[in-house]
Structure formats: structure tokens, C-alpha cells
């Protein structure tokens, strides 16, 4: 497993992503002609690095971008770091959660003391909304806890096994927004399993991610035609909807999905009773 020093060396020396400006230049000039190879995919795979160290290095080098993706948003103007930058990141991320109806689902039982787990709260946009708009008992995990009262994942980017074992069947909601596109297939499967274990019967699992519906550009496909997302040189599989739904239906009732114009899909699942 690659550690912090090696990860930072790869980012700055091998890839040349010394800061957000350099990364943006690569996105504009190099990404459109760089197809994922096995070497690219393996180099910084979430399965081969300490995920906490990877995202800590990215936070240090690229400011708020790891939380709200200003580098890939044409016309998005936001300060790279500081209090105002965090506020802008929270505005963008809460807007996404509202667009997909995540807040509306949580608001249905806002007055009840239900347990809600969030995966990857970032700067706390949804955390703040839940704590001020509902009476839910909130718990969160992140690879880099950036706000108070958020717990740290394991080095492999997953929930600690002792937490899952101790809290089985205790949660009404497991939610995540703007996070699952960063997971490897192995990590996604692990989160599907852990969310199922943590939810009570009838509990909801809600998340979103990019999916491959045929509109992924050629430069994001490997030689076999498989689509990959990349963030700071880390490649993660973009699943096809049939494959994603098949895996989810093995554990959950798939209630409904909502797809945005850019291919981001929001999924609402219910644990079977």
C-alpha cells in the first residue's frame, strides 16, 4: 500500500500536478488525449494506496477542489482555499443533494430521533443541514475528517469493521452525495454490504455517482471500451447501470433513480424487511 510520501511524489513529480493550476492545465491540454492504461489505473488505485494519505495530499495541494471539483467546472469561479472557499463548496454540494431530493427524503421524518449515517461529508454541507433541519442523530465517516465530530475511515477507505459490527441494524438512513465516483469497484461493493448491515429493515440507502450510458468520451475509455473516471491521477471504474442495478438488487429493493444531464445518477434503495 502506497503511503503519503510516495503518493505526493507521484502527484507532483511523475504527474506534474504541483498545484491546482498545474492540474487544471493538464485537464485542458492533456486529458482529452490521454486514454487510461493498465499502468495509469494501477498506479494510484484506491486499492493500492492509503486512501487517507491520498486525499490528505490532494487537500494540501489542490485546496477545496477535492471536495467540490472546481477544476472541472467550466466558468466556476471560487477561491482555492480559506473560509469563503469552504462556504462556496458547501453551497455547491448542498445544491446537488437538494437537486436529487436527498434532503426531501430526510425531511419526511425530520422530527423523529432517527439515526443517519453520512459517507464522505466533506466540509459538512449536508451535516449542517441535517443537524439544523432535523432531529436525526447524525454520524459520519470520511477519509479526511475536515469538520468536527466526523470519524476517520480505515486506510483502505472503508468503514471500520468494529463500527459496522457494533451498529448493525441501528440506522434509518445511510446517505452519500458526490462521493461514490471516487471508489473502486471493491470499495463500492464493501459499502453496499456495510450499508445493508447498518440499516434497519425498511431503511434507505441513498447515493449518487457517474454511470456509463454510452456518452462517456472516448479518451475516458480503455482499449477494451471500459469507462474510467480520473481525479488527480486516480482512476475509478464508471459502472454501467445494468451492472450497478444487478448488484444492488441482490441486497435491496431499488425504489427509484434520478439521472442528471451529465450522467450523474442518484439511487434510492430500501433494505428488505
Could you tell me if 125 and 94 are in contact, meaning their C-beta atoms sit under 8 angstroms apart?
Answer: yes
Q: For residue range 80-119, list pLDDT tens digits in order.
A: 567 788 888 888 899 999 999 999 999 999 999 999 999 9
Q: Which residues contact 121 (CB under 8 A, 6 or more apart)?
A: 127, 140, 142, 146, 147, 150
Q: For residue range 123-176, list pLDDT tens digits in order.
A: 999 999 999 999 999 999 999 999 999 999 999 999 999 999 999 999 999 999
Helix, strand and coil content of the chain, in percent to the nearest 5, comes to: 40, 20, 35
Indicate the pLDDT class of residue 74, thresholds 50, 70 and 90. very low
Q: Which residues contact 258 (CB under 8 A, 6 or more apart)?
A: 100, 101, 265, 266
Angle between helices 20-29 and 51-62 (to 10 degrees): 100
**Can you give the residue ranges of every domain in the chain?**
83-271
Helices and strands: H and E segment counts in the chain: 11, 9
Give alpha helix (H) positions in 167-240: 185-198
pLDDT at 85: 81
For 216-228, what is the mean pLDDT?
A: 96
Residue 78 has pLDDT above 60, yes or no: no
Closest CA to 62 of 230, 232, 177, 179: 232
Buried b (16+ CB within 10 A) or exposed e, 42-58: ebbbbbbbbbbbbbbbb
Buried b (16+ CB within 10 A) or exposed e, 95-114: ebbeebebbebbeeeeeeeb
Distance CA 161, CA 154 (A): 9
Q: For residue range 21-62, list pLDDT tens digits in order.
A: 999 999 999 999 999 999 999 999 999 999 999 999 999 999
Structural class in CATH, domain 83-271: alpha beta
Amino acid at each position: 500500500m502506497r503511503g503519503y510520501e510516495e503518493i505526493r511524489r507521484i502527484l507532483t513529480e511523475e504527474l506534474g500536478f504541483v498545484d491546482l493550476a498545474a492540474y487544471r492545465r493538464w485537464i485542458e491540454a492533456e486529458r482529452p488525449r490521454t486514454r487510461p492504461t493498465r499502468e495509469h489505473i494501477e498506479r494510484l488505485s484506491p486499492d493500492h494506496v492509503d486512501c487517507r494519505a491520498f486525499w490528505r495530499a490532494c487537500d494540501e495541494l489542490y485546496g477545496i477542489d477535492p471536495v467540490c471539483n472546481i477544476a472541472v467546472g467550466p466558468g466556476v469561479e471560487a477561491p482555492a482555499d480559506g473560509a469563503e472557499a469552504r462556504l462556496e463548496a458547501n453551497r455547491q454540494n448542498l445544491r446537488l443533494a437538494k437537486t436529487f431530493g436527498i434532503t426531501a427524503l430526510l425531511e419526511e421524518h425530520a422530527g423523529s430521533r432517527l439515526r443517519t449515517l453520512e459517507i464522505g461529508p466533506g466540509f459538512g454541507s449536508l451535516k449542517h443541514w441535517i443537524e439544523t433541519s432535523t432531529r436525526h442523530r447524525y454520524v459520519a465517516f470520511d477519509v479526511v475528517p475536515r469538520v468536527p465530530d466526523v470519524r476517520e475511515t480505515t486506510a483502505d477507505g472503508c468503514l471500520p469493521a468494529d463500527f459496522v459490527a457494533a451498529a448493525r441494524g441501528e440506522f434509518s438512513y445511510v446517505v452519500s452525495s458526490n462521493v461514490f465516483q471516487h471508489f473502486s469497484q471493491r470499495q463500492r461493493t464493501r459499502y453496499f454490504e456495510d450499508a445493508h448491515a447498518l440499516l434497519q429493515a425498511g431503511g434507505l440507502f441513498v447515493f449518487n455517482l457517474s454511470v456509463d450510458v454510452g456518452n462517456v468520451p472516448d479518451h475516458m475509455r480503455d482499449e477494451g471500451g471500459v469507462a474510467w473516471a480520473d481525479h488527480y491521477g486516480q482512476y475509478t471504474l464508471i459502472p454501467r447501470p445494468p451492472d450497478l442495478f444487478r448488484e444492488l438488487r441482490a441486497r435491496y429493493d431499488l425504489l427509484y433513480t434520478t439521472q442528471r444531464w451529465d450522467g450523474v445518477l442518484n439511487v434510492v434503495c430500501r433494505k428488505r424487511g
